Structure 1
Amino acid sequence: MTTSKKLLICSVSLIIFFFAEIAINVACGGEGDPYDYYVSFFHNDIQRTQEYRPFYFTSYSFLYDDEEQVSEATLNSREWAAYLGHAVKAEDVEKAMYQLKGNADTVLYNGYLDGKGALPDSLKNNSFLQSLASNKSALSYYQFAKGVEPIANVKSEYWNPKEMDTDALKKAGEEALSNANTEKDKFIKLRYLYQAQRLLHYGKYYKEAADVYDKYLVNYKTDSHVKGWALALKAGESRWLGDTVKSAYLFSKIFAAYPERRVQAYRNFNYINAKTENVLALAANKNEKAVIHAIDGFNDPALNINPLKEVYEYESSSDMVGVLLIREINKLEEQYLSATLIPDQTVSSYYGNLPDSSRNKAIAHIKQLKSFCQKLSAEKKYPEYNLGNLAQAYLAWMQKDTKAGLEYLAALNGEKLSSKFNDQKQIIQLLLTAQGIQQYNEVNEATLLPSLKWLDEKVAHEITSNTSYNLGYYGLSPFAITARNFYQAIMAPIYLKQGDTSKAAIAMLQGDASGNKVTMASSQTINYWQNYLHSSALNKIIAWKKTPPANPYLHFLTQKLGRYRNDDLYELLGTAYLREHKYPEAATALNRVNEKELNKFPTNFYDEKATGADPFISQMPDYPKLLLNKNGKGYNKRQFAQAMVAYQKQIKANPKNAAASYFNMATAIYNTSTYGNAWYLISYDWSSTDYGRKSLYYYDTDYIKTSNAEKLFLQARQLSTNAEFKAKCTFMAAKCRQKQIKMPSYSDFPDYNYTKLQNAEKSYDQAVRRNPYFAELQKSYGKTAYYRLAVNDCSYLRDFLKTNRK
């Protein structure tokens, strides 16, 4: 087999296991970020307004954002300020009504509002409170509203729930209605009526509350948002009185007209669970039908173009059109793109196998979306109709139709695009340019550089102005997400296919927008750097850090290496050398690492003090682990490398009498496996699931299979004339051979066939008891004391002997 062919096979395997490991990390990690759990390049916030932000796509939660986009308190305060006039400030209204602490609120209510005192110093300049003195109706209403707060706004405590005082609420509601009937001021009268309905509603007098709305409020002539809040109460009353379809319909009206109650209306519409067709039957016009279809679409995580088409048909200029269209694109990213970006050889990803039926459904959906987008662009009924060409270009990229994608982008030339649309165009241009490159080399890479610099600047600006990213929260950092996804899901796999693991590594690093050391990078980058890089790749990377490349593209791609400490890089290099059994080189590299860093031993189940372990301790059983010898000396990586160098010198100096040296080296290499006491010398983590798993990393020959340790045990046996020692070598070789038998698991059977798993487990049990070295041990060393100890200690050996006797 040629070297190039071997390299290609190695690279393809690396891609498979690299992405498989990412899948494991995601699947076994904490709760995912509901804004960042699939590969996405189409930003969901590019529209002219963010009014419908709560309904952007995420299948991780019921809503993308559960905060109302418009403040009810702000709206009400503005209405009060406009009503009172006389330079009353809305912010003063909001402070007095909504922001006072308990003590200040009590002083205000029992003092100034009751005519018994002056305003507190903190409120003496409040224009709203000052104006109340000259408006008797407003002052009386405000006194009433403050007076009923204790019974209307009962604080809910999980461990000490408080019952609503229904009698008091009914009495207060009746008082509010009485005040409304005698009030002449329309502004104040409306609020008394709302209070009457509200208080009766909270007291669960739903019929009486609904009667207030039907008799006094339904035809009340006003533009005040208070009427909308009354309608929301009416919708809830219809629900409790049994008319769920009407309730859903009324909530759809709230959704449409009152953005400060939109999230609440959406929740209630869906909790009611009325059939959409029944609600549509109550719709009075096209706009109402559009809203009902939109709500239906916002709650659908499956690929479904019908709500989008219906909303466009009934209200083509609505911002809901763009939200629904981008939702469908984001769904495709989650359900199709994130799987297809993984190389074909991987078969599966975090999203599981992509069956032909799912793939075909996604492709059909793309076709439908492209047809809709063509109509959107051509008819120009939607204000941001250029979204159609942007979407088509992205969908073409998704289907690897680079030529068509570039044509759709070209159609936007000369169009006046918003800054966000232009940013999205730049991102799609970058994706199409990268897709169009057949072979990555210095010439082709140069074409990407301007776009990559642009993206880097966008990320830098985003980070400096967005504290959420610095908290590790990607939700409000779309450009950081785009950069990470581009480098890690597109560029790194391309370089891996070409066998260039060094460029793949720095591409991964470039995708991380912040951090000043390797261990502060993303989990994907850390996983790749710690588990996949050989010493040759790391040496190249270190050379780039020492002398930044003259090539502009490579210079840009390696610029973040300056953020990382030499200690971290040389520690990685030394570890790679240990895995490759290049111990002199490992010792040299690890001499460049701070002693304190080297002695940061991982804590584990066996050693909470984290003192390390002596890898040269030979144990017959794997458990319990014996970590330290009598001297209590634990080895760090440099000390381990130096010790192995010493044994290599002994073997070279006296090869015929090197049995003990070979045995000690074999023991140490065995102990660096997941089954030994010093796994930390070649691995950065340990898991109980490592036992008997299939190979993932290049060092799994030692870490999982213990193959090299077996060879060294056999060399030690060959050079010895001592029967006891030879018996010990044979038994240790048997332990190594046992580890080369893969333990079956559910993941071996995509169909989760339990019968197949049971049969595989039986075969595994038989295989570990038919160890070929057991026969040698019995035949050649059956009279040794070590053999008798082994029979007493090892149940597998005893089972072998029982079977053999039969």
Structure 2
Amino acid sequence: MNSFKRLCIVFSVFLLSYFGEIAINVSCGPEPDPYDYYVSFFHNNVPDEGYVPFSFTNMRFLYDEAEPESEVRINSREWADYLGKGVRAVDVGQLMYHTDSATDSVILRYLTGGEVALPDSLAANTYLKGLAANEPARIYFLFAKELEPYATVTYNHYWDPDPRDTMDLGRMEALADSALRRADEHPRNRFLRLRYAYQAARMYHYSGLFEDCVETYEEYIQPSREKSAVKGWALALKAGATRRLNEPAEAAYLFSKVFTASPERRVQAYKNFHYIDVPFEDVLALAQSNEERAAIWAIRGFNNGGFDRETLSSVYDLAPKSPLVGVLLTREINKLETQLTEASQYYQEGWWSDYYRPDSTQAKARNHAAWIADFSRKLASEKQYTEPGLGMVSEAYVHWLLGNADQAEALLAGVKVGRLSERLADQYRIVELLINVNRLKATDNVDEKAMLPALQWLDQKRQDEINQAITRYGNERYSWMAAADLRFNRTATNLYQSVLAPHYMQQKDTAMAALLMWKGASPGGTEIEPAGELYDRLGWPTQAFWQEQLQPAALERLATWGREGVNRPWAPLFEQQLGALESDPFWDLLGTAYLRMHDYAAASKAFAHLSTDFAPPAPVNWYSAEEDTLWPDPFLETLSDYPKQFGNEALSKAEFANTMADLQRRIADDPDHAAAYYFQLANGVYQTGAFGNSWQLISYSWTSSDNYLKGAYYYSGDFHEARQAAVWYRKARELSGDREFQAKCTFMLAKCEQKSYLFDNIRDYYDTTYASAQGQPDPFWVFSQRNRYFKELRENYLDTDFIRAAASECTYLADFIAPNFP
């Protein structure tokens, strides 16, 4: 898979905070998705929704802290089924879990025969009606309410409650004893008998009577033939009590049983298992079946962020039909993605991909990928797993990760999609999309037309998913509260921004790449509304791509598409967005692109489209008390770059373009003073570099790392290395006979040459900085002492007044000429 050459962009934000001479306030996108720290196309819920909290993540203990199922909903359904007669589970949940103290008082008076007028919300509650008509259920409900203050405990470690005072403990023991007596009163009512026993176990456990808790479970709960989630909750109590009775291996084993049997307590059981921290072999020895052994292996494996063949193989050998097999296989594929998928430099992934991806790590990942492909083939061929198609789709995807698109395509051809589950069929279509990208050629209407339905399908899946999240969380909160569930949204973003956009960039179709980056940005509402501004709803990756990569030719093509429509098969994908190509930010970007190419007349023409009230945000100095605005002054002459000297008033890009165009005209109209005009032109582009005081005239962001890291922008020659400035300083020197002026031009040429000392990546910078700190020669100082223009200054201009002034401010020059300078 092709990708852009990576650049340490994200980390520059970190460097800005710690090493920046001046902090710049620039606009930024929304908070990054905390789960989206690598490019992933294989959904973590493909094999089973019930184990999503244990999906791969190497940034935290769990992928998701929420239980896979709701205890409230499960208990409410059981009560609704027990009472029957039209009792609704939602009414049970409302009455049992979501009432305040005032409402509870009304309910209690009503159920105990008191005279009370029920509000409409309670009068229509079917659960309340069911309790009123069922005396045993009503008595249990009232008893449970009596226990509620003692059952609501504060935990230090999940199952270890804060200690109670003596009066509480006595009251809890009495309530536990009462619960057992009540259980005995209902020998044939398994529903209520089980729940009374559970209440007794809770009270014994929370009051510290752990032996009584265990005994209650074994005598009342374990023998019960009632099919209820309550049995799993009681088993968790027994597990905690067993641990307090100094049997940690037994406790961990019991929690492993809760883990598999009770999805509403699965996360809690997982945490408890690991909190106990007992030798794995001791727990495994207690297992009574291969299924239990497989679960214990899986629980341990879910805490392993590294490649893990042993767990996957062991679980499959022990329980090949278990859903844990698919979950563990998916985890390993997600681990592979962290090493083998490649992101555009403008994606959230950032600097650490290269920093922590040495060749040895890549080789290890590819070796593991080959093993995963073999395992997937085995899963498919042996057909012991409940959905063997997972093996075929997984193997195809792994081959795509390895760059074997043809082999991946051949594997998919053998899959009978109609027999796959919905989630696996969706995954099949995603892998198919990825494979088809390899066939795409720029401006190939046949291939684009063939892919359009699949891309529209993905867009619809993405929008449906977002609509569901908005319904649940609200428009303003869905993007972060539902982050873990927005799988198709992440897939679409990854596909458009990290596969399709780089693919078109490689084929030099930058305008289409720009639209694809734009398309990859997450929609901001229930519908993809026409964009009013270029950067509406865009995060940093897309905005940075547009602002850093688009040259005038691509932008002019986009402007044509904005006026006339996209004359390509993919036009329906972008029809809602093209209106933004007539907005102020677009014309500002086009004009800025022309500034970078030094076509100042064309820049002025683009800026002429701007509204009179358009004013992009100006950078400020975060470290000043008043956060002073940093006004540009591109024609300022300075000997030293730092501390930077800024202007005193605003200067727009249009004004800068007009001034530079005027200087170019003057060179032709007034050749006698051409040297001075060239020098001002050179100052203008020098100060718009990262090291200057007017970078905001050609760039939309700045960090201190721009001074020592190579850029990947088309204007990096100016922004990082002052190349055009050097051309014009050299021209100014050639046209002048004034030795003082020539010395000044030569010094500025020396400064431009110093800017060519740049590092390829942040790792090289740190390695060099560390070496210098250990006493090795400063490599930049060594580089400066070889500056050819320093040599010219020493040989030709040592007697000028300018050199004396320059040497007093530039220590590198002073060191160079010191032996020959009085």
TM-score (norm 2): 0.85
Structure 1 distance, partners of 2:462, 2:162, is 51
Structure 1 distance, partners of 2:619, 2:10, is 22
Change (3 A) 1:64 1:432: same
Report if aligned partners of 2:373, 2:398 keep a CA contact under 8 Å in 1: yes
| 1:779 Cα deviation after fit | 6.5
Residue type at the aligned position of 1:637: K
Structure 2 distance, partners of 1:354, 1:645, is 47
Change (3 A) 1:23 1:452: farther
Mapped pair 1:403 → 2:402: no
Structure 1 distance, partners of 2:209, 2:122, is 37
| 1:185 Cα deviation after fit | 1.8
Change (3 A) 1:733 1:795: same
Structure 2 distance, partners of 1:24, 1:760, is 25
Report if aligned partners of 1:336, 1:362 keep a CA contact under 8 Å in 2: yes
**Which segment drifts farther, 519-528 or 570-579?**
519-528
In structure 2, the partner of 1:581 is 598
Change (3 A) 1:415 1:669: closer
In structure 1, the partner of 2:633 is 614
**Which segment drifts farther, 434-443 or 195-204?**
434-443
Report if aligned partners of 2:445, 2:569 keep a CA contact under 8 Å in 1: no
In structure 2, the partner of 1:569 is 586
Residue 204 (structure 2) aligned to one of 200, 205, 208: 200
For residues 283-319 of structure 1, give each alpha carbon's deviation from its aligned partner in whole angstroms, at most 9, with x where no partner exists: 1123222322332333332222333333333333333
In structure 2, the partner of 1:68 is 67
Mapped pair 1:79 → 2:88: no
Mapped pair 1:368 → 2:384: no
Residue type at the aligned position of 2:646: L
Summarize the alignment of residues 795-806 of structure 1 with structure 2, pairs less than 5 Å apart.
795-804=811-820
Change (3 A) 1:626 1:753: closer
Residue type at the aligned position of 1:373: S
Structure 2 distance, partners of 1:383, 1:73, is 29
In structure 2, the partner of 1:9 is none
Report if aligned partners of 1:459, 1:513 keep a CA contact under 8 Å in 2: no
**Which segment drifts farther, 677-686 or 609-618?**
609-618
Residue type at the aligned position of 2:44: N
In structure 2, the partner of 1:311 is 315
In structure 1, the partner of 2:4 is 15
Report if aligned partners of 2:743, 2:797 keep a CA contact under 8 Å in 1: yes
For residues 262-300 of structure 1, give each alpha carbon's deviation from its aligned partner in whole angstroms, at most 9, with x where no partner exists: 111111112223333322211112322232233233333
Change (3 A) 1:766 1:758: farther
Structure 2 distance, partners of 1:615, 1:679, is 9
Number of residue pairs aligned between Structure 1 and Structure 2: 780
In structure 2, the partner of 1:52 is 51
Change (3 A) 1:44 1:666: same
Summarize the alignment of residues 430-509 of structure 1 with structure 2, pairs less than 5 Å apart.
430-436=433-439, 441-467=444-470, 471-473=478-480, 474-509=483-518
Structure 1 distance, partners of 2:398, 2:616, is 52
Structure 1 distance, partners of 2:708, 2:408, is 47
CA RMSD of aligned residues (A): 3.7
Mapped pair 1:790 → 2:799: no
Report if aligned partners of 1:235, 1:246 keep a CA contact under 8 Å in 2: yes
TM-score (norm 1): 0.86
**Which segment drifts farther, 393-402 or 132-141?**
132-141
Residue 528 (structure 1) aligned to one of 545, 557, 564: 545
Residue type at the aligned position of 1:478: R
| 1:79 Cα deviation after fit | 3.4
Report if aligned partners of 1:180, 1:190 keep a CA contact under 8 Å in 2: no
Structure 2 distance, partners of 1:284, 1:364, is 35
**Which segment drifts farther, 635-644 or 273-282?**
273-282
Structure 2 distance, partners of 1:16, 1:105, is 64
Structure 2 distance, partners of 1:438, 1:599, is 37
Residue type at the aligned position of 1:118: V
Residue 625 (structure 1) aligned to one of 621, 639, 644: 644
Structure 1 distance, partners of 2:642, 2:364, is 52
For residues 145-164 of structure 1, give each alpha carbon's deviation from its aligned partner in whole angstroms, at most 9, with x where no partner exists: 32333343256899xxx964
In structure 2, the partner of 1:259 is 263
Structure 1 distance, partners of 2:732, 2:40, is 55
Mapped pair 1:146 → 2:145: yes
* Structure 1: runs of 5 or more not aligned: 1-11
**Which segment drifts farther, 289-298 or 790-799?**
790-799
For residues 150-181 of structure 1, give each alpha carbon's deviation from its aligned partner in whole angstroms, at most 9, with x where no partner exists: 343256899xxx96424234213321233134
For residues 385-439 of structure 1, give each alpha carbon's deviation from its aligned partner in whole angstroms, at most 9, with x where no partner exists: 2222222222232233333323322222475333333332222222222224588
| 1:333 Cα deviation after fit | 1.6
For residues 665-719 of structure 1, give each alpha carbon's deviation from its aligned partner in whole angstroms, at most 9, with x where no partner exists: 2222121112222110011111122223334323222222223223333433444
* Structure 2: runs of 5 or more not aligned: 17-27, 525-530
Residue type at the aligned position of 1:90: A
Change (3 A) 1:802 1:178: same
Mapped pair 1:667 → 2:683: yes
| 1:139 Cα deviation after fit | 4.4
Residue type at the aligned position of 2:424: F
Report if aligned partners of 1:66, 1:263 keep a CA contact under 8 Å in 2: yes
Report if aligned partners of 1:169, 1:200 keep a CA contact under 8 Å in 2: no
Report % sequence identity. Answer: 38
Change (3 A) 1:25 1:398: farther
Residue type at the aligned position of 2:496: Y
By relative contact order (CA 8 Å, sep 6+), the higher-ranking structure is 2
